[in-house]
Structure formats: C-alpha cells, structure tokens
RNA sequence: CGGGAUGUGGCCCAGCGGCUAGGGCACCUGGUUUGGGACCAGGGGAUCGCAGGUUCGAAUCCUGCCAUCCCGACCA
C-alpha cells in the first residue's frame, strides 16, 4: 500500500514482489551501486580497526567519538546483534526497547544524577524539566520491573535491549574502541533470591563466551571494579590486545583482575618494640628514595602520604575534602581503590595550596596531627612496627610512628596498586600484566536500584522484598572493532564468516559479463550472501585491493582464461586456498564451505581460551 | 581537565608577509590500456577552521574562540 497524495494504491499482484528471484534482486549488492566508497591509505598512524573500517567504507566519523555505520558495516552489525539475540533468548532473555531520553527524576532517586559528573549529559526540555541522555538503563529497567513484577511467581526474569547509549567521555579514541555514542546490548535480571541471581549471572557468563566465540573473538574474564554501578560482584570480558586501554593482571593459577582492583601479596615484617615518636632533621628528602638513602633505611620502614581532593556527596549537596592516603614507602597507591574505600564521587590530585590548607607539607607530609582530612591507610602498614613518616614541617620527619597510636586512619584497607613484579596472593607466582579492551561486563547489582526505585515484590512468605537485580552489557561497535583488530593483515580485514558483511565476494574481470551475472543470480537464489564486483570501469588491481580491504572470506574470480575451461578461480581471504573450480556444482560447494567455516571458527576460537 | 600537535577543493599534503593559492589522489569528458590501486589530453571544484587585530598588502604575523588527533587525568 503506497500513499500518493490522498490516494491509496493497492498492488494487485503483490505476490510477484515476494517471489524468490525478485526478492533476491532487491537484497543484492553490486559494487557499482554501493553507497560507500573505499579510500586510499592515509599514512596516518591509526589503530588497524579504525584505519580499515574507515578505508573500506564501513564507518564515517561525524564528530569526536560519534560515527555513522554505512551499509556494509550495518550488515556486520546486524549479524553480531543477531548472534547476541540468539544467545540472550537461549537463556530466557526477552527483548525490549527502552527510551534514550529520560526524565531526570529516576536518576535522582538512585542519586546517580548527582554522583556522575560530566559524563552524564543533562538538559532541559521545553518546560524546563530536568532530562538526561541515557548512558545506561538501570533506572528505567528497574522502573519497568517495578511496574510489571508484583509476585515471586513471576521471577526470575531477564529483559534486554540493543540500544543507543550516550556517554560524554572525556577522551574518545581509537576509532570505535572508545566512543561517546554507541550501541550496547544491555540486559537486566530480576530475581526473588540470591540463588536465582547467581544462576542468572552464571548463565550470562556462559552466554557471553558463546557470543564472543561465535563472533570469532577470543576473550578472558577478569574480576572488575564496581565503579558507578555499585553492587556486589562484577566481571569484565576482555579482548587481550596491546592497543587495549584497560590494564589487567593474570596469573597461571587462574587469578585474573582488572589492575584497578588487582590484589597482590604484601610482605609482612617481624614485629618491633614500641618506641617514642621523635622528630629528626632530614634535609632535602622529599621522596621516599631520598629519605631512605639519607637515613640508610629500607623503604619498607617508611610510610608515604599521597594527597588528593575527594568530592563527596551528602544528600543533594556535594563538598570537597582533602584526602590523605598513607601507604608503606615501597608501594604505590591505586586511585580507584582509594576512591572506593572512602566512597568519594571523584578524586583528583591535590594542589600544594590545598595540602598546606590543612597544615600538611608536601614532601614531608603525614596524617599525624591533621584534623580536617579524610585519612585512608593501606593494610601494608603494620600495627606492630615503627615507621618513619613526614613531620608536616619542611626538612623534618618523625621516627617511631605507630599505626593506631600516632595516626588513626578513617579507613584501613587495600589501596595499593599492583605493579610489574607483584606477587599473586593466591599462588605466590609473579602476576602477568597485559592490556585489553573491555567488550562486555556482568554485574551483580543486588538491591541497590530496586531499593531506591521501590521495585518490590511479594515473596512466598507474604513479605514485601526488593527485587534482586543484575546488569549485563556488551558494546556492539567495540566488539566489531575488536574483531577487526583480531582478524586483519596489512592489506585489510579478514572477517570471520559469522560476522562478515557478505559470505562471497564475486569479482568479474571478464568483459563478457554474462557468466558472472549468471553466477550472481544463482548464488542469490541459493541464499548465498554475495557482494558482486560488477564494475566495468575498474581494473583488476583495484578490484583485488578493494576485495582485500573488505575482507570477505570467500572470493570467486570470473576471468576469461579460466572460463575457457568452464572454470572460475576460488580464493580464501586468509590465503589458505587459491585454486580453480568447475562452474558445475559451484553453489553447492560454496554453501558447504560456508557451513564448514562457521563451524570451524567457533572451534578455533574456543581452542584459544 | 592538564600537556602536545594539526586545521588549505571530497581525501592526503605543499605554500609560512607579495600580487591569479599549488600538487598528488578522487571526480567529469574524450582517447589509449585492461589479472594486483594504468596512461595521455582537457575540465569542474576552495568563504585557506571562525572572529577580531597589525599591515599598502594576511593562508602566511598577533590575540581570542572552535574543531580534530595524540599523551595523561577520567571512564561499566
């Protein structure tokens, strides 16, 4: 039914439009008609995925961290999304779509409206109401759960969507790896008890591995920071690559963690008798290295102070306060751990004036005698030892300082940063440091959101309880880029069959287009996804270069020479096969090859894990 | 938010006080070529990021702003 002016036109022979051949002609792609174009090398130093996706005409940048996906990319994206859908549906997920623009109210209820800084974009609608752009959907999913779930009999439930998110990231980079606007698969689970949540979490854990495997991407899981999500437990799915921006540790014993939360074994020393606090002159010893050299002591006998300004939230008010982090001299502090320990909204290094403002002296600082500051100490500082600490006086330190007696931190916990050479706390071996891209994550949220939104249900005992939730994300564009990072050579992309925009790249080099056209239609009729390079004005070299760039796994070349013997050339993009095929039975051969590749890919990626 | 760099036809870059802003790629026309990014001839296409200022004269120098990229901070 088409509307022209005010008249409806009904097609009499609608069935014709749905016939197999016609449908095929509609879904085709001929290179001569492709919307995008390929670009020459730029010579810019870019990550492989960014360079090839742009050059091959998959994506175009609109602004920093904001991209359009062109037709060929969209085909890959659709395949990735469908793999995600299949695996989500398999664990009982139900697909929904939630809005991208939210009234700020719910975000105020959970306090994230105030807690999250500039990354959350806030604006007003025409009535002046506070609105936000969705950076994630916990608030809205919880609101939906609140409205739909009233009884334990309805639980457990998992809903998911594949939706646009906006995060005003301070530093977008590396093409699609780190962007501001992106598509994300996010699921939210609702459970009546913790056992149900554990099961949902585990199901997601396995489903994620399946999805990444099917997309041809090897990943590992690491224990991760809870960050702005809050909650109880979290894992990140990491694709290991040197261009990754996340730093993580692994160990042969199986321990893995994002280095933000990585724990390691700290050396504990023999106890010492209590001595008096004594001030000593230590000129020009602003660093631990200078200090221990000057005094001829080990750096483990010192305690350093690192100063930050923490932003804290109290109700709707926020305030800043100096934070003094104390840690044994040989160790480094980890800002994420500090921020989590003291429950600060934000943390930044303090300026000298701010340090002096509470009576501390940078280079000779400690928490001893300081009132107006939040003090957090690392658990490497032993109660039964004497330490050399700053005297808050230029060129002076204190000896014999004891934890508990001389300084009494507000928090004592692990705030140490795992660095190269750190020892695994599980098995005692050296931790291995790597870099990776976070392609997915899973969180046990617990009742954080259900409590603030009021998503409650009646349990079997008749009592009203908050729903126990989980949240699980996968960055679709980042996944696409990671796949390219993993599968490319110097000439372009080498798609895994499962996510390749097309299965077969049919290249015609013959002036007589008849044979190629014939093949093309027969491929379409057999359901083979084919990209047809039917361009007559391009030379062979251009077509080959473009084909390499596109990275479609199978290639059929129609040329005059092989046609003489009723043959065409067959080549795989990975370079393993380069041969000729009889025209007879070629579609059957290709279909079998495609199926085989889909099967083998999953096996080979699984083998890497 | 700190540090650095760059903005010149669609893309990559040259020009860095002197008059009509230049090349390569891409595009259009014609011809020759035709298996790994062809060649010849002709042609179209630019508010030189924006706004001020200095100057007889500004793409070029100065100031401010904006944008993009890289490093760091930040980030599910």
Q: Is the pLDDT of residue A555 over 80?
A: yes
Which nucleotide has the shortest C1'-to-CA distance from A507? B35
**Over pLDDT 70: what percentage of chain A?**
91
Q: Is the pLDDT of residue A606 over 70?
A: no
Which nucleotide has the shortest C1'-to-CA distance from A175? B69
The answer to whether strand B lies under 7 Å from the CB of residue A42 is: yes
Distance CA A186, CA A167 (A): 15
- Structural element, H or E, at residue A142: helix A138-148
CA of A56 to C1' of B29 (A): 28
For the segment 283-342 of chain A, residues whose CB is within 7 A of strand B: 335-336, 339
The answer to whether strand B lies under 7 Å from the CB of residue A63 is: yes
Q: Is the pLDDT of residue A222 over 60?
A: yes
Residues A534-545: tens digit of each pLDDT? 988 889 999 999
The answer to whether strand B lies under 7 Å from the CB of residue A61 is: yes
The answer to whether strand B lies under 7 Å from the CB of residue A490 is: no
The answer to whether strand B lies under 7 Å from the CB of residue A43 is: yes
The answer to whether strand B lies under 7 Å from the CB of residue A577 is: no
Least confident of A192-196, A502-506, A605-609: A605-609
Q: Is the pLDDT of residue A459 over 60?
A: yes
Query: What is the reported pLDDT for A163?
Result: 94
For the segment 498-517 of chain A, residues whose CB is within 7 A of strand B: 509
Q: How confident is the model at residue A18 (pLDDT cuts 50, 70, 90)?
A: low
Least confident of A6-15, A202-211, A336-345, A453-462: A6-15
* Residue A478, phi-psi category: left (phi > 0), alpha (psi -120 to 50), beta (remainder): alpha
Q: Is the pLDDT of residue A172 over 50?
A: yes
Strands (E), A177-232: 181-191, 220-223
Q: Is the pLDDT of residue A253 over 80?
A: no
CA of A537 to C1' of B31 (A): 15
The answer to whether strand B lies under 7 Å from the CB of residue A170 is: yes
The answer to whether strand B lies under 7 Å from the CB of residue A274 is: no
Structural tokens at position A108: 């105020």
Q: Is the separation of the CB atoms in A362 and A391 below 8 Å?
A: no
Distance CA A372, CA A388 (A): 22
Q: Is the pLDDT of residue A15 over 70?
A: no
CA of A137 to C1' of B50 (A): 38
Least confident of A171-185, A323-337, A502-516: A323-337
The answer to whether strand B lies under 7 Å from the CB of residue A438 is: yes
| Higher per-residue confidence, A142 vs A396 | A142
Q: Is the pLDDT of residue A224 over 70?
A: yes
The answer to whether strand B lies under 7 Å from the CB of residue A119 is: yes
The answer to whether strand B lies under 7 Å from the CB of residue A185 is: no
Query: Could you tell me the CA-to-CA distances from A308 to A170, A199, A324, A373 in Å, in that order?
Result: 20, 40, 7, 10
ipTM of this predicted structure: 0.89
Q: Is the pLDDT of residue A569 over 90?
A: yes
Distance CA A471, CA A185 (A): 11
Which nucleotide has the shortest C1'-to-CA distance from A561? B35
The answer to whether strand B lies under 7 Å from the CB of residue A224 is: yes
User: In the block, which residue shows the tokens 């940063």?
Assistant: A417
Sheet holding A387-393: strands in order across?
A: A278-281, A396-401, A387-393
| CB burial readout A324-349, b (16+ within 10 A) else e | bbbbbbbbebbbbbbbbbbebbbbee
The answer to whether strand B lies under 7 Å from the CB of residue A572 is: no
Domains of chain A in start order, with CATH, are: 48-227+448-484 (3.30.930.10), 278-413 (3.90.960.10), 489-608 (3.40.50.800)
Q: How confident is the model at residue A22 (pLDDT cuts 50, 70, 90)?
A: very low
Strand B: which nucleotides have any atom within 7 A of a protein Cβ? 1-2, 11-13, 25, 33-38, 67-76
User: In the block, which residue shows the tokens 């600060």?
Assistant: A344
Q: How confident is the model at residue A24 (pLDDT cuts 50, 70, 90)?
A: very low
| CB burial readout A444-475, b (16+ within 10 A) else e | bbbbbbbbbbebbbeeeeeeebbbbbbbbbbb
Distance CA A299, CA A315 (A): 42
Query: What is the reported pLDDT for A164?
Result: 93
CA of A537 to C1' of B34 (A): 10
Distance CA A40, CA A542 (A): 11
The mean per-residue pLDDT over the stretch A577-606 comes to 86
Distance CA A506, CA A31 (A): 10
Distance CA A489, CA A468 (A): 46
* Highest mean pLDDT out of A27-31, A153-157, A326-330, A364-368: A153-157
Distance CA A182, CA A81 (A): 13
Q: Which of A140, A160, A162 is nearest to A203 (CA)?
A: A160
The mean per-residue pLDDT over the stretch A245-263 comes to 76
The mean per-residue pLDDT over the stretch A235-250 comes to 83
| CB burial readout A65-80, b (16+ within 10 A) else e | bebebbebbebbbebb
DSSP secondary structure string for all residues of A412-449: EE--BPP-TTPBPTTTSSBPEEEEEEEEEEEEEEETHH
Which nucleotide has the shortest C1'-to-CA distance from A224? B76
CA of A63 to C1' of B48 (A): 22
| Higher per-residue confidence, A168 vs A242 | A168
Distance CA A189, CA A197 (A): 7
Residues A284-328: tens digit of each pLDDT? 777 777 777 777 777 778 778 787 877 777 766 677 777 777 788
Residues A394-420: tens digit of each pLDDT? 787 777 777 777 777 777 778 777 777
């Amino acid at each position: 039914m088409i509307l022209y002016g005010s008249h409806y036109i009904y097609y009499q022979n609608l069935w014709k439009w749905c016939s197999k051949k016609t449908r095929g002609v509609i879904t085709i792609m001929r290179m001569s008609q492709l919307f995008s174009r390929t670009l020459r090398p730029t010579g810019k130093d870019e990550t492989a995925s960014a360079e090839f996706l742009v050059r091959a005409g998959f994506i175009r940048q609109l602004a920093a961290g904001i991209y359009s996906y062109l037709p060929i990319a969209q085909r890959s994206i659709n395949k990735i999304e469908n793999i995600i859908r299949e695996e989500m549906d398999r664990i009982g997920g139900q697909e929904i779509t939630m809005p991208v623009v939210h009234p700020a109210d719910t975000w105020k209820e959970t306090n994230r409206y105030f807690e999250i800084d500039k990354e959350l974009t806030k604006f007003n609608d025409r009535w002046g109401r506070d609105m936000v752009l969705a950076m994630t959907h916990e608030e809205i999913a919880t609101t939906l759960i609140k409205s739909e779930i009233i009884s334990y009999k309805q639980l457990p439930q998992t809903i998911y969507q594949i939706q646009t998110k906006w995060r005003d990231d301070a530093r977008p980079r590396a093409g699609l790896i780190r962007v501001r606007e992106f598509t994300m698969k996010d699921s939210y689970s609702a459970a009546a008890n913790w056992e149900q949540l554990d099961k949902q979490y585990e199901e997601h854990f396995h489903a994620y591995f399946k999805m990444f495997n099917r997309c041809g991407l090897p990943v590992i899981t690491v224990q991760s920071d809870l960050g702005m999500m809050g909650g109880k437990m979290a894992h990140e799915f990491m694709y290991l690559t040197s261009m990754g921006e996340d730093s993580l540790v692994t160990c042969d014993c199986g321990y893995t963690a994002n280095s933000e939360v990585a724990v390691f074994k700290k050396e504990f020393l023999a106890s010492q008798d209590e001595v008096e606090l004594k001030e000593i002159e230590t000129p020009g010893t602003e660093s631990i290295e200078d200090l221990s050299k000057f005094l001829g002591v080990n750096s483990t006998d010192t305690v350093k102070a690192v100063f930050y300004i923490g932003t804290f939230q109290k109700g709707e008010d926020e305030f800043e306060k100096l934070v003094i982090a104390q840690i044994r001299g040989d160790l480094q502090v980890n800002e994420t751990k500090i921020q989590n320990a003291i429950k600060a909204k934000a943390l930044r290094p303090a300026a000298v004036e701010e340090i002096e403002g509470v009576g501390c002296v940078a280079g000779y600082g400690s928490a001893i005698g300081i009132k107006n500051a939040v003090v957090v100490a690392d658990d490497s500082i032993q109660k039964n030892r004497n330490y050399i600490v700053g005297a808050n006086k230029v060129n002076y330190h204190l000896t014999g300082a004891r934890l508990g007696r001389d300084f009494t931190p507000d928090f004592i916990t692990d705030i140490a940063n795992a660095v190269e050479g750190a020892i695994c706390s599980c098995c005692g071996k050296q931790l291995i440091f790597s870099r990776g891209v976070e392609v997915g994550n899973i969180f046990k949220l617990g009742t954080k959101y259900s409590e603030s939104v009021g998503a409650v249900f009646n349990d079997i005992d008749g009592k009203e309880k908050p729903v126990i939730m989980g949240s699980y994300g996968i960055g679709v564009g980042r996944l696409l880029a990671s796949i390219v990072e993993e599968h490319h050579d110097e000439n372009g992309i080498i798609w895994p069959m499962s996510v390749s925009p097309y299965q077969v790249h049919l290249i015609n080099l013959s002036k007589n287009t008849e044979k190629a056209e014939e093949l093309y239609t027969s491929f379409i009729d057999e359901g083979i996804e084919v990209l047809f390079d039917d361009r007559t004005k391009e030379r062979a070299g251009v077509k080959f270069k473009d084909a390499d760039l596109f990275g479609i796994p199978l290639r059929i070349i129609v040329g005059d020479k092989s046609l003489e013997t009723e043959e065409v050339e067959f080549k795989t993009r990975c370079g393993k096969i380069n041969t000729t095929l009889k025209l007879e039975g070629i579609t059957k051969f290709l279909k079998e090859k495609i199926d085989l590749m889909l099967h083998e890919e999953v096996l080979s990626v699984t083998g890497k894990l």
